[in-house]
Structure 1
């Protein structure tokens, strides 16, 4: 037990270590925290409205506890699936796993220690969902000290069950599946599964948005009073126990269910330790094994003469595509917004009316709105803001290759631009074939957004050069707790947002061609000065990036 606590404490210190973190990093964390406050206030207001309304409806029927049960079930399902990529990355695919294997620890001790990163993600989501639900439910029901105590224990122990279930599935899969030659594919499939689960959930809600039908179905469901709560939560016993524990009208009844809830959690933790001891080492050793049946190709048939710039660009693209963490954060996440909007509008029955309304809007306003929205989508892409950081400790190899720093810079910029071009194509389909934007406006937008994409990448690479994150053990750390993507988006959105608003209200800018001309001049000038400054920065900072 002492070794387990020592290992966990060591991993906690390494994860939260501020060694090498300058004051700029701390300031960035502070700014991000401040920026999240308005979003948190809006989320709290929304939850308070929903819970208060539901409580007024359900309290006369005696089924107000369904609010807690629903929140816990949805949270449990969300945690169950979203934790799988983090568990895979931390348990099996972290760079430091081989270092721990040589130490005198049991498999279950390593599993407990490696649970830190996934648990941080899970408790973060739980704090955003479970805590507000319990807080506003307590206000509505007038819960006292016993409710507060049970709610606190629920928040502490409830996320462990979804985490343990996900861990057990992953450990069994990694033990018996042929993962050794499909390591990257496994992480990619897990991440995309979580993403498509979220999209699918929203699509189902969208398809079933008839409020009268939903209200009637919900009323009929509530009228089924016999074993209602059990029928709702029987596939997650800890939800049933936790919900009854939070019903504090009869204190001893609440205490008994609290004990049952804690007992279920303890049993799950025991299973987690047993499975970790039984399956973890075999799964890790299976990854270390080499793949079989690989063909040896003739290198002469696979080489061709190409420019250094294009070769470096292809190298960057292959790194992004073949590394699941990079592919998910640089490609898939950037496609989420246009893909999600495309799905929502495709299944919207009023899309024809929207297209007709668009015909009555001035082309200038359409162009400005499309351009500003596109900048927001492109600004959220993390390819440019991670261009230097993706190299990690291998950055020093660029110092020895016979390639000019400017060529490396343009290779990274071109790779980021190609990745963003996929989002541009999706937006083009959305605007041109779904919303039916006029063809002239669509062509002008396409020219502007291509230039906007390049300036977006210039800003992102410039920020990453001055504050790269090279000392990472897991590819996910390149994108976690970083201020660079948000800073790039704010610079891009504030600068061009101010310009768009000015052009929108200026009385003498009434023609779409004048609007296009002004935007083109500003984008061209921005590209010239930013690119010139970036090249100077690369020549000055190229040798010193490793020291950051």
Structure 2
């Protein structure tokens, strides 16, 4: 047993270690916490509006506890959907996995150790939904100390079963679905699954709900359901029990349901260990044998003569596409904002009025607004700010390749610039086909965005060169607790914010062409400075990294 706890301790230290964090990173974490305070306050205010709007309607039928039930159901489904990519990476594709397989421990011990760190991160997602909902419900309903105590206990136990269900699903797929032959595709599909589900749910909600009457309609619909709470338990077996553990008439009922929740959770943990003992090693062995059955052809038929910078760029793009954590953070996450804007605009009833307003608006201000939106999308893309960190322990190979360091940096910049245009293409569809912006404005916006994208890329690489994270064992650690994208976004906001505000307000900068020339001049100067400092930093830092 002591060896088991030692194994768990080592895994946790490797995942959450602060040993590799310098003062800059620790300061960045503190800055991020401070910056999240107003966002958290806004989220609590938003949830309070929903709870306070639904509670009186449900209270008339004594069904107010269904607010907690649906919050738990949404939390459980969110955990299942968002945990799958993390589970796949942690269980099967982590770089430190092979070192644990040789130890004299059983499969379920390694599995539990690999589960602890992702499960802790799951509590963060759980807190986003459950904490404000439970708090605002308690304040609205006038709950007492019993409610607070059992809410805390339930918060600790509830996320375990949804996470176990997602883990068992992954283990069955990795063991029996014969996906080891398509290892790269497996990673990509795991990465895009959550994004597709979230977008799909958003579309369904907007097709079936009027946003202005959503709270009222939702509450009235629930009133008509007699066995709705039992129905939710068909999706997640602990929703009903957890709801009763939090919201019951008498304290002893809360205690009994909490004991039942504790027992059911323990049974699921035992089931998880039993299934893991029988399936986990076979799934890991299937990954290592993923080349079985493939046909090998002559290597000479696959060789092409390409410029060095383009070959390295293709290598970067393939790495991002085939690694789920890189794919999610560099591509999927970058598509989130433009896709949601697109969906909201498409399903809103006032799209026609917005289009009419665009027709009546001065082209100067239309161009400035489009340029500002593009800057935000490009500045929040972590592709450039992880260009060096994505190499990990393999960075040392770049020191020995017969390639000029500047060529490597230019190739990484080109790869990040190409990925930027994936999200900009969605904005192009929004501006051109939905908002019907004039063609001339669109053409000028494309030119300005191309230059500004290069500025964002070079600044991101400069930030990553100064403070890379190379000693990671899991691809997700490249992005967790790193504030390089936020720093790049702030630099970009400071650099272009003054330019946009000045161009917007100065009376002598009028007309579309003069506005474009002003933006081109400012963007060109900013790009020149960003390129110079990125190349200078490359000369100083390239051979000292790692």
Are 1:329 and 2:329 counterparts?
yes
Are 1:106 and 2:106 counterparts?
yes
Q: Name the counterpart of 2:442.
A: 442
Per-residue CA deviation, residues 413-466 of structure 1 (Å, 9 max, x unaligned), is 111111112222222222112211011111111110000000000100000000
Q: Is the 8 A contact 2:164 2:268 kept in 1?
A: yes
Are 1:467 and 2:467 counterparts?
yes
Q: Is the 8 A contact 1:86 1:117 kept in 2?
A: no
Q: Name the counterpart of 1:222.
A: 223
Q: Name the counterpart of 2:250.
A: 250
Q: Is the 8 A contact 1:234 1:240 kept in 2?
A: no
Distance 1:534 1:348, change over 3 A: same
Tell me the distance in 1 between the aligned counterparts of 2:97 and 2:305: 40
The residue correspondences of 1:182-193 to structure 2 (distance < 5 A) are 182-193=182-193
Q: Is the 8 A contact 1:83 1:121 kept in 2?
A: no
Q: Is the 8 A contact 2:371 2:449 kept in 1?
A: yes
Q: CA deviation at 1:23?
A: 1.0
Q: CA deviation at 1:228?
A: 4.3
Q: Name the counterpart of 2:76.
A: 76
The residue correspondences of 1:70-149 to structure 2 (distance < 5 A) are 70-149=70-149
Q: Name the counterpart of 1:496.
A: 496
Are 1:205 and 2:191 counterparts?
no
- With the length of structure 1 as denominator, give the TM-score of the two structures: 0.96
Q: Is the 8 A contact 1:384 1:457 kept in 2?
A: yes
Q: Name the counterpart of 2:407.
A: 407
Tell me the distance in 1 between the aligned counterparts of 2:152 and 2:82: 23
Q: Is the 8 A contact 2:188 2:321 kept in 1?
A: no
Q: CA deviation at 1:488?
A: 0.5
Q: CA deviation at 1:215?
A: 4.0
Q: Name the counterpart of 2:26.
A: 26
Q: CA deviation at 1:492?
A: 0.6
Q: CA deviation at 1:184?
A: 2.1
Q: Name the counterpart of 1:307.
A: 307
Distance 1:286 1:321, change over 3 A: same
Per-residue CA deviation, residues 214-254 of structure 1 (Å, 9 max, x unaligned), is 84574254044x44432344443311111112224322222
Q: After superposing the two structures, state which structure 1 stretch, 294-303 or 194-203, moved more.
A: 294-303
Distance 1:221 1:421, change over 3 A: closer
Per-residue CA deviation, residues 395-421 of structure 1 (Å, 9 max, x unaligned), is 111111111111111111111111112
Q: After superposing the two structures, state which structure 1 stretch, 193-202 or 328-337, moved more.
A: 328-337
Q: Name the counterpart of 1:64.
A: 64
Tell me the distance in 2 between the aligned counterparts of 1:414 and 1:107: 43
Per-residue CA deviation, residues 65-120 of structure 1 (Å, 9 max, x unaligned), is 01111100111111111111111111111011110011111111111100123202
Q: Is the 8 A contact 1:389 1:469 kept in 2?
A: yes
Distance 1:236 1:529, change over 3 A: closer
Distance 1:92 1:361, change over 3 A: same
SS at match of 1:19: coil
Tell me the distance in 1 between the aligned counterparts of 2:60 and 2:342: 42
Q: Name the counterpart of 1:17.
A: 17
Q: Is the 8 A contact 2:12 2:117 kept in 1?
A: no
Q: CA deviation at 1:377?
A: 0.8
Q: Name the counterpart of 2:356.
A: 356
Tell me the distance in 1 between the aligned counterparts of 2:195 and 2:136: 29
Q: Name the counterpart of 2:507.
A: 507
Tell me the distance in 2 between the aligned counterparts of 1:372 and 1:220: 41
Q: Is the 8 A contact 1:76 1:159 kept in 2?
A: yes
Q: Is the 8 A contact 1:69 1:233 kept in 2?
A: no
Q: Is the 8 A contact 1:244 1:254 kept in 2?
A: yes
Q: Name the counterpart of 1:386.
A: 386
Q: Name the counterpart of 1:43.
A: 43
Tell me the distance in 2 between the aligned counterparts of 1:218 and 1:25: 45
Paired residues in the alignment total: 545
Q: Name the counterpart of 1:3.
A: 3
Q: Is the 8 A contact 2:399 2:543 kept in 1?
A: yes
Q: After superposing the two structures, state which structure 1 stretch, 355-364 or 305-314, moved more.
A: 305-314
The CA RMSD measured in Å over matched residues stands at 1.7
Q: CA deviation at 1:328?
A: 2.1
Distance 1:110 1:304, change over 3 A: closer
Tell me the distance in 1 between the aligned counterparts of 2:82 and 2:314: 31
SS at match of 1:139: helix
Tell me the distance in 2 between the aligned counterparts of 1:483 and 1:14: 20
